[in-house]
Amino acid sequence: MINKNGKQWFDTNGNPIQAHGGMILKHDIRYYWYGENKNANNTISSIGGRKVDFIGISCYSSNNLKDWCYEGLVLEASNDRSDSLYKDKIIERPKVIFSEKTKEFVLWFHYDYDDYLYAACGVATSKSPTGPFKVQKIFKPNRKDSRDFTIFKDAEKAYLIHSSDFNKTTYISELNETYTDVTGLYTKALVDQEREAPTMFKNQNMYFMITSGTTGWDANAALYSRSPFLFSPHKLIDNPCEGPNYRQTFYGQPSYVLEVEEQFYLMLDHWVPENLQKSGYSILPIDIIGNKKRDLRINWTDSPFGGKY
Ligand code: GAL
């Protein structure tokens, strides 16, 4: 199946890939793509927003980053109204990390009510990359709200990077050794900048974040920031995108930065607000430029991974 950037993608059975707001994890020799399954019609939330009732978190696996085999729902909605995973809940932007200490896969997700006012994190664990994951806790990290987020591993330590203070400020919160909780140590990275959809990567001792603005499902201009230290304020620099539609991030919104063979790639969701299940994806190479390799440049390519995979 040939998938094209910006469009819906298809799995090895020819079905649309339902893995929005997601990430790709490499484990042993296989890649696992986790994301939101939005395979249903839109509904309208209690505050008039567009949403799809919670169905579950999907997993797809691949050995070549091209052919994606559906592995099913690794976390599923419940039909029980009293269950924390009842379908009226918002469960978004799943990120999975493997703990060498516990040999468990740890799934983090944004957990919310349909008015987005609860703003918490969920943590679930599984012995297998293809689940099922069992919810361990739903909580506010360091008693802060948490909406869009990513998980970033730096050597053996991992961090939760989350939009907080009603999306005004992006925090970096240290995770414990098992990656299932925060330690209490946190810092403000982007203060009062109103950034969402955070992604993070490190190149040659420089930490880069690519984030979106806060316009819901509508595309806006991405910005990157950098800092030589992770646990410190990061400086916003510029929009990394170039060429047609660069101010709308090519009509995409960041979900994750993935490294493959020493090349970084930005994963984008191409939301279709009026019918979210039809939303597409792109995976674009990130060029690191300048004489000190301190700046980023992202160009559109029709083929995922710039055609490399
Ligand atoms: C976006 C966010 C998405 C989703 C959406 C709802 O800003 O990045 O993950 O929450 O808002 O409107």
Condensed to tens digits (0 to 9), the pLDDT of residues 251-260 reads 999 999 999 9
Closest by Cα among 132, 131, 133, 135 to 120 = 135
* Residue nearest ligand 1's atom 11 by CA: 216
Q: 92 CB under 6 A from ligand 1?
A: yes
Which residue shows structure tokens 């792109």? 282
Residues 6+ apart with CB under 8 A from 213: 194, 195, 196, 220, 221, 223
* Structural domain boundaries in the chain: 20-307
Q: 71 CB under 6 A from ligand 1?
A: no
Q: 38 CB under 6 A from ligand 1?
A: no
Probe residue for ligand 1, chosen from 90, 113, 147, 148 as the CB with the greatest number of ligand atoms within 8 Å: 148
* Residue nearest ligand 1's atom 2 by CA: 216
Residues 6+ apart with CB under 8 A from 198: 148, 149, 150, 161, 162, 163, 170, 209, 210, 211, 254
Q: Which pLDDT score is estimated for 83? A: 97
Q: 112 CB under 6 A from ligand 1?
A: no
Q: Which atom of ligand 1 is nearest to the CA of 196?
A: 8
Q: Which pLDDT score is estimated for 175? A: 98
Q: 196 CB under 6 A from ligand 1?
A: yes
Number of other CB atoms surrounding residue 126 within 10 Å: 18
Exposure b/e, 149-162, CB count within 10 A at least 16 = b? bbbbeeeeebbbbb
Phi, psi of 218 (to 5 degrees): -85, 140
Q: Which pLDDT score is estimated for 265? A: 98
Overall pTM > 0.95: yes
Phi, psi of 249 (to 5 degrees): 50, 45
What tokens does 100 get? 């060498």
pLDDT per residue of the chain (309 residues) written in tens, 0 to 9: 699 999 999 999 999 999 999 999 999 999 999 999 999 999 999 999 999 999 999 999 999 999 999 999 999 999 999 999 999 999 999 999 999 999 999 999 999 999 999 999 999 999 999 999 999 999 999 999 999 999 999 998 999 999 999 999 999 999 999 999 999 999 999 999 999 999 999 999 999 999 999 999 999 999 999 999 999 999 999 999 999 999 999 999 999 999 999 999 999 999 999 999 999 999 999 999 988 889 999 999 999 999 999
Please work out, in degrees rounded to the nearest 5, the angle formed at the alpha carbon of residue 8 by the alpha carbons of 7 and 9.
110
Rounded to the nearest angstrom, the distance between the alpha carbon of 217 and the centre of ligand 1 is 6
Please, are residues 234 and 209 in contact by the beta-carbon 8 Å criterion?
Answer: yes
Rounded to the nearest angstrom, the distance between the alpha carbon of 231 and the centre of ligand 1 is 26
Q: Which pLDDT score is estimated for 134? A: 98
Q: Which pLDDT score is estimated for 291? A: 83
Tens digit of each residue's pLDDT (9 = 90 or more) over 217-267: 999 999 999 999 999 999 999 999 999 999 999 999 999 999 999 999 999
Rounded to the nearest angstrom, the distance between the alpha carbon of 216 and the centre of ligand 1 is 5
Please, are residues 207 and 200 in contact by the beta-carbon 8 Å criterion?
Answer: yes
Q: 141 CB under 6 A from ligand 1?
A: no
Q: 197 CB under 6 A from ligand 1?
A: yes
HSE of 102, CA atoms in CB hemisphere, 13 A: 15
Q: 216 CB under 6 A from ligand 1?
A: yes
Q: Which pLDDT score is estimated for 292? A: 84
Rounded to the nearest angstrom, the distance between the alpha carbon of 104 and the centre of ligand 1 is 28
The CATH architecture assigned to 20-307 reads 5 Propeller (2.115)
Separation between Cα atoms, residue 276 and residue 245, nearest integer Å: 21
